[in-house]
Structure 1
């Protein structure tokens, strides 16, 4: 059994979203992305399907140029290869579920380059 928390030890980065791998299992990775208001992750693609949960706050989630307003409790499933971006409308915590074959470093690089 593995246990992780989306709320414990929550830390924000002043200049970009803060990425933390919470858990890795045989099938996937669970990542927490902590946004301050206005922070963004520029348009990018993932090679594998993802699931995004808005755990706290509100996010503009852009997919192929269309903006979707997501709020606390919303879930999004997205196939690989689809361009998307995120912008925090307020302080927000996002849970990202990655395929085991995907890389947390890729997510960190997106945040660093946004």
Structure 2
């Protein structure tokens, strides 16, 4: 499990393109922030790599930093390019296929913690 990032402490994660390069025929990831409120993960995908359909109990924001991918949410496919963002409501079924080498940042927010519910 990733090290906890205290909510009360700021952090910086620099030079991620060097620290987490796209690896041939692979999907890689690095957890950048991890605490009770949120989790931030950066992924890289080589062309043709995919994540099969799954869900998350958290609200999720996906930003494609670079590349092209097909991102499916609840059966609707979206063609994503550099800088595009998709918001996923908690429980939304989603999957992806990288059409080119890609770098993606995923931010998951625990809605119960964020709203006090």
Q: Shared topology, TM-score over 0.5?
A: yes
Contact 1:50–1:98 under 8 Å retained in 2: yes
Is 2:50 aligned against 1:73? no
Structure 2 residue corresponding to 1:9, chosen from 10, 19, 31: 19
Question: Which TM-score applies when normalising by structure 2?
Answer: 0.77
Whose relative contact order is higher, 1 or 2, with alpha carbons under 8 Å and at least 6 apart? Answer: 1
CA distance in 1, matches of 2:36, 2:74: 31
In 1: Cα distance, 2:31 partner to 2:71 partner: 21
Give the conservation status (yes or no) of the 8 Å contact 2:70–2:99: yes
Q: 1:39 matched to which residue of 2?
A: 49
Q: CA deviation at 1:14?
A: 4.5
Report whether the alignment pairs 1:50 with 2:63.
Answer: no
Off by >6 Å, runs of 4+ in structure 1: none
Work out the CA distance in 1 between the residues paired with 2:30 and 2:44. 8
Structure whose CA Rg is larger: 2
TM-score by length of 1: 0.78
Structure 1 unmatched runs, 5+: 102-114
Greater CA drift, 5-14 or 43-52: 5-14
Cα RMSD of the aligned pairs, angstroms, is 1.9
Higher mean C-alpha deviation, range 37-46 or range 62-71: 62-71
